[in-house]
Amino acid sequence: MREWIPTQEEFDLFADISGDDNPIHVDPAFSARTRFGRTVSHGMLIYGKLWGLLTATYPDCRHVDQTLMFPNPCFVGDRVRLEVRRIDASTFGVEATRLSDDAVLLTGKTTIA
């Protein structure tokens, strides 16, 4: 388990790396006019943080598959709990939860080889 506080700089860097520069992630003025009222993290940025947590424990693992849901948005400045739990030899549950209200931001499973 680890905590993470996302920053706009991380959202912007992930947009540059991934090519996903949707204004909901990178344009605070645009995002202020949406139902979210501010920029929202890329879902795969959150998963990348969880993947990093997993590979810190299993550095030689290879990604095989993942199934993910993003039920709530993740915003700049949210304190987020990142959790990876072993389900079986090659499957892990992954979850990111906003600490201020226990809202689940990402939930799913990932399979490694």
Enumerate the domain spans of the chain. Answer: 2-112
Handedness of CA 73, 76, 77, 80 (dihedral sign): positive
**Residue that the structure tokens 């943080």 belong to:** 49
pLDDT tens track for 8-60: 999 999 999 999 999 999 999 999 999 999 999 999 999 999 999 999 999 99
pLDDT at 75: 98
pLDDT at 83: 98
- 72 in Cβ contact with 46 (< 8 Å): no
Token duo for residue 84: 């990876």
pLDDT at 94: 98
pLDDT at 69: 98
- What is the value of pTM for the model shown? 0.95
pLDDT tens track for 60-69: 999 999 999 9
2-112 CATH, one of 3.90.1820.10, 3.40.50.1100, 1.10.10.10, 3.10.129.10? 3.10.129.10
- Cα separation, 76 vs 41, whole angstroms: 8
Token duo for residue 111: 């399979």
